[in-house]
Structure 1
């Protein structure tokens, strides 16, 4: 006689749609917009935590959870008087304080503003200026606009990869540099151009690039060029 399936097995065979709370199942999907920016739970974060299943997959950067000092995040939220309409500005200030948007800080923002964590995550992933992975001390952006592309931007990126061992979106193991590619930096007259943090470095050559990276590696900030 075959052994009847256990209750756990039966539960796992239930249609997934039936196990999703109606508020989540019927919620609008897609990227963040003003039309779906309000919480789908009128009573805020407490109701969301009660009714929502745990987030599956990897909605946030992988790694062990650890206790993080969220004092800065709390101070920023207090400055905006816990007003959810300032969510984007709050996330900008949180990223400036931590150099990225750590998962514990996003959870704290959701709790303090009493909005769904998924809503905060939608905003954080909608804008390319937000980073969910820890970035390096110095952020390198290489312009890939038409003028820069024609004048050797590809060679600059390849040289950065040779010098630092990273490609677009990656950070060096010592957390010193993060490399990003941008469509345009708005300085076509200086092509090819790149920025390190907020400093513009224009009319770059491979030799100037090597010198610039060396100076930053030594903890100094070279003057902008161009």
Structure 2
């Protein structure tokens, strides 16, 4: 199928150096709030997480951002999954948010570290019962015999923990991605898009640069 004629004109907004703060996390928060309030964005916190696997190949998957602070970006996963093992072996990751209805994209490069256990415990405790049990029952990324196998394992766990607290399994928890660079992309006419990149310096200041589209 020839897609060469698929084109869209971007002309909703601009992104100028004079309009952005010194700290990229402030700009991220502004853009995130605007995306979250936009009716055309279903899940503003959905982001692509790219890693380098143990086989040397890159892989990207969509994960939900659960928290962001001035330290970085937090998401949760199974540490024994393909994604978890890849991050533990090579913590350099890339996060990407794309909000096409707003003609905006954010690309974050950084290093991931295992989140403190008390923070993972706190988030796990806030999850619905089904999500807690799902985190225990699913050997994420492993080959399983059938869908029925998963459902049978879930039934066993439901009986085991009926009326009881479900503890967070050791193989499940959060990652904190500390950003080294954050690029903001705003679509513009004639493919002359605005690209502003913040890079963390050795003095822990942010350097702002404009990139050619």
Which category describes the TM-score, using the shorter chain as reference length?
Answer: under 0.3
Q: Which has the higher contact order (CA 8 A, sep 6+)?
A: 2
Going by fraction, where is helix more abundant, 1 or 2?
A: 1
TM-score, length-normalised on structure 1?
A: 0.23
Structure with more of its chain in strand, by fraction: 2
User: Structure 2 length normalisation: TM-score?
Assistant: 0.24
